[in-house]
Structure 1
Amino acid sequence: MAAELTALEQNQTWTLTSLPSGHRPIGCKWVYKIKYNSDGTVERYKAQLVVKGFTQREGIDYKETFAPVAKLTTVRCLLTVAAIRNWSLHQMDVQNAFLHGDLTEEVYMQLPPGQHMVCRLNKSFYELKQASRSWFHKFSNAIQQGGFHQSKADYSLFTKVSGTSFTALLIYVDDMIITGNDDNAIASLKDFLRTKFALKTLVKCGTSLVSKLLTPLMGFQYLNENIHLIF
């Protein structure tokens, strides 16, 4: 819980203020999870402060909510190309992804009981109806600043071509699959993303996005034999 509050404060997620007349604050609660390693041992204890998004009012607390996610067909095609061409495959995810999105609406969140102030949300927040949309908008703007182009066939796919160098990034909410024929370009991409977001490299294949999506669908064992997985 302390780590979560520290992350929220460092990200300047909210500003303490008095509740303006005519506004209604949204409630919040703590959600606790235990994350396990593939062998069943405890990886870490996780606490998230989330808003009660079900109390939001359309047109007041939120407007648009749609955010694209990677199509399964795109994931399968990208991994097939990587397997055939023997490209390395990298997977990373963004820590506290939804907290990076910038809010355009004026939204207030309650503090714990006994407090007379409220939080004016500056950034997107877990369980806000517009959280996914705000996060994807933030990420797509950042990656395109790095010279990547957004695919018209799948808005979650971003590619960059420089001479013979090709790099592809596919994002599914806060998980990223990165591949290409130039390891130096991939390393530069990771460095660029770290200047924008807090990232971590997933170290357990069993919990990876690739494994979760593709194991029952397209012979993940075959891909393992043809792709050098880097974690």
Structure 2
Amino acid sequence: MDNIIGDPHAGLQTRNRTITENTSLYAEILDTGIMETCLHAAFVSQLEPKNVKEALADNCWIEAMQDELSQFQKLHVWDLVDLPKGMHPIGTRWVFKCKTDDRHVMVKNKARLVVQGFYQQEGFDYTEVYALVARLVAIRLFLAYASFVSFKVYQLDVKSAFLYGKVHEEVYVTQPPGFEDPHNIDKVYKLDKALYGLHQAPQAWYETFSKHLLSNGFDRGQIDSTLFIRKTGGDILLVQVYVDDIIFGSTNEEMCREFERVMKSKFEMSNMGELSFFLGLQVSQREDGIYLHQTKYVQDILSKYKMNDCSTYGTSITVNHDMQPDKDEKDVDCKLYHGMIGSLMYLTASRPDIMFAVCLCSRFQSQPKESHMITVKRIFTYLKGKTRLGLWYSKQQSFEFKTYTDSDYGGCNLDRKSTSGGCQFLGDRLVSWQCKKQSTVFVSTCEAEYVAVASCCSQILWIR
């Protein structure tokens, strides 16, 4: 205990980021545009350790690990016991991450103790593991409605959310590496709450969270079970949850403050203020509407695949692309191709302009060739010239539901299947879009368009 830095019973604390405004240093670094970096550099480690041995040599990471273990003690996550006969303990490991904000400024060192869940045996260590998460289209619908009724959207983050989930199975884990009890080296921890890495952890957290809201007067959405609604008189409070990230808004600011009090009565929260960064989506709430974009993500993937210095194109794909699996062409690295396609697929959450090109390139993932890689790189060069393109949800009165759909006829060069496309609007707010190759070859444009309409109608029913 003498070697622990600080009070182990104290809660997590945010380092002070203030600086006196009347100092010449403040004025100087403000002019150079590196103020945030300077404020954090003295208090946060800039390097992520590769193992526990490296982490234990840095006081910043030692504090981060002690913060994590202090949360375990406060929430009564586990008990040190002897391993029962016939039981097997699951290994644990530390995961170290330097947290950055949407401007790439490093603001926090996060050490998380995770369970090596791949050692768990189904039916013995866990049974049901299904947990609900919000769809990205549900997030866009939430923001579109917020722009229509003109309320602010706020964000809450639950600290170590999975530690609140109750574990119903009998699970034992090894002691944390670097923090073993020297007097009880052969003992293990029996889990009472879930840890990150357990198969059942997301479900346990969602069950705890939903029960708390339902017991405080909220109603769960009948279609989207990650949406919680509370009505008081003519006012409404909406809460959308994606694992441990929560966004909420209300037509009455007092209901927002009441919701915050309800959450803090059971969970340790960090109030993030107005929503600005959520699931990789950057949200700018303005007086005349909400702007949704992924500028930071675009810059990250351009840097990751070394496309920062490339020239730009005005379109994401040529008109007569004529993509086909040419066996005579040279093969490319499948892992690299898959990674680029996966990065672009997530970008379609706010960029419908690249939807068709990305879906087309994803059809050749089994045996990618040089021509396919060239097409993928063209999408990146197109993004280079339009990094800040996004969705604009204006604060205008119309909220009319409109939808459009169409289909080509035998557009695929491989099997002559057609491609369906569709989009849905609330007023002038684009909230949903689709692009998908049909599963059957049709003999007429009428048949192909009927299939496109059927697919679009299913999306319409879900949105309504």
Scaled by the length of structure 2, what TM-score is found? 0.46
User: Quick check: 1:172 aligned with 2:242?
Assistant: yes
Preserved CA contact (<8 Å) 1:28 1:49: yes
Q: 1:92 maps to which residue?
A: 156
Which structure's relative contact order is higher, taking Cα pairs within 8 Å and 6+ residues apart? 1
Preserved CA contact (<8 Å) 2:153 2:274: no
CA distance in 1, matches of 2:67, 2:154: 27
Q: Give 1:82 shift.
A: 0.8
Q: Give 1:203 shift.
A: 5.6
User: Quick check: 1:69 aligned with 2:133?
Assistant: yes
User: Quick check: 1:222 aligned with 2:392?
Assistant: yes
Q: 1:44 maps to which residue?
A: 108
Structure 2: gaps spanning 5 or more residues: 1-64, 284-291, 294-349, 353-388, 396-464
Q: 1:146 maps to which residue?
A: 216
Q: Give 1:65 shift.
A: 0.7
**Secondary structure of the structure 2 residue equivalent to 1:196:** coil
Residues 1:209 and 1:61: Cα distance change in structure 2 (over 3 Å): same
CA distance in 1, matches of 2:275, 2:203: 28
State the identity as a percent: 32
Residues 1:71 and 1:222: Cα distance change in structure 2 (over 3 Å): same
Q: Deviations over 1:105-130 (max 9, x none)?
A: 00000114771110000001010000
Matched letter for residue 159 of structure 1? I
CA distance in 2, matches of 1:20, 1:177: 43
CA distance in 1, matches of 2:73, 2:84: 22
Q: What root-mean-square deviation, in Å, do the aligned CA atoms of Structure 1 and Structure 2 show? A: 2.2
Matched letter for residue 68 of structure 2? E
Select the residue among 64, 69, 88 that pairs with 1:24.
88
**Secondary structure of the structure 1 residue equivalent to 2:265:** helix
Q: 2:70 maps to which residue?
A: 6
**Number of matched pairs:** 226
Q: Deviations over 1:158-207 (max 9, x none)?
A: 00112112101000011111012111011101011000111112269663
Q: Deviations over 1:59-91 (max 9, x none)?
A: 111111110001222211121111011111111
Preserved CA contact (<8 Å) 2:158 2:244: yes
Q: 1:80 maps to which residue?
A: 144
Q: Give 1:42 shift.
A: 1.6
The structure richer in strand per residue is: 1
Preserved CA contact (<8 Å) 1:167 1:180: yes
Residues 1:203 and 1:165: Cα distance change in structure 2 (over 3 Å): closer
Residues 1:217 and 1:181: Cα distance change in structure 2 (over 3 Å): farther
Scaled by the length of structure 1, what TM-score is found? 0.91
Matched letter for residue 29 of structure 1? R
Structure 1: gaps spanning 5 or more residues: 227-231
> Which aligned runs of 4 or more in structure 1 are off by greater than 6 angstroms?
none
**Secondary structure of the structure 2 residue equivalent to 1:8:** helix
Superposition map of 1:117-196 within 5 A: 117-196=187-266
Preserved CA contact (<8 Å) 1:205 1:211: no
Residues 1:36 and 1:195: Cα distance change in structure 2 (over 3 Å): same
